[in-house]
Amino acid sequence: MASAKILVIIGTVRQGRVGRKIADWYLGLARAAAPELEFDVLDVAELDLPLFSEPIPPGMHQYSPTQNKLAQRVSAADGFVFVTGEYNHSMPGSLKNFMDYIAAEWARKPAAFVGYGGAGGVRAIEHLVQVLCYLGVASLGKNVSINAVWEALDDKGVPKPGYVFGDVAAQLKELSWWAQALKKARG
């Protein structure tokens, strides 16, 4: 039985993206490193969300049917792993747009990060942490980064040696601890 459910969120949507390949690679390592965790994948590209324009702010918790579906997925999670590329020194607009649809369901849960890009997605992660802080998410510092992503992946989508920084097992050990502790605290 899983001790905590982790929602792995793939934040990019553009054609030719590598986010799904990186998420699949990460999940292979994650399931081996943290068998006590249950992983669920949410690919923002599969949601086909329009630019957020709901008439009532999410903070008022009067959700549309689309918002209710997203709220159910996020609410069911005990923690998050964000898999994000870096666009113009920040997170992809698609990821921010997805996050804007709901509010309270994020709170009092931990998040870990897998970034990729020229500099391993570190600036995207920095901006993501700022948004998550406002939403009440405890962002962890043990990031996994893949540098020079355009040359880092082999023909199977697996990062080559020398391009990955960070320790997936150590990241998940910390995420598991926080997810379990906050789950217990939330009651």
Q: What pLDDT does 22 receive? A: 97
How many other C-beta atoms can be found within 10 angstroms of the C-beta atom of residue 70? 20
In whole angstroms, what is the distance from residue 180 CA to residue 3 CA? 7
Dihedral-angle region of residue 38 (phi above 0 means left; psi in -120 to 50 means alpha; beta otherwise): beta
Q: Any bridge partners for residue 5, and if so which?
A: 38
The pLDDT of residue 1 is above 50: no
| Mean pLDDT within 44-60 | 96
The pLDDT of residue 143 is above 60: yes
Positive or negative CA dihedral for 6, 175, 16, 71?
Answer: positive
Q: What pLDDT does 125 receive? A: 97
Half-sphere exposure in the Cβ direction for 9 (13 Å, CA): 26
The pLDDT of residue 187 is above 90: no
| Mean pLDDT within 1-18 | 91
Confidence of residue 180 (pLDDT cuts 50, 70, 90): very high
| Mean pLDDT within 114-132 | 95
Q: Which CATH class is domain 4-186?
A: alpha beta
Q: What pLDDT does 21 receive? A: 97
Confidence of residue 9 (pLDDT cuts 50, 70, 90): very high
The pLDDT of residue 82 is above 50: yes
Confidence of residue 2 (pLDDT cuts 50, 70, 90): low
Question: How distant is the alpha carbon of residue 107 from its chain centre?
Answer: 14
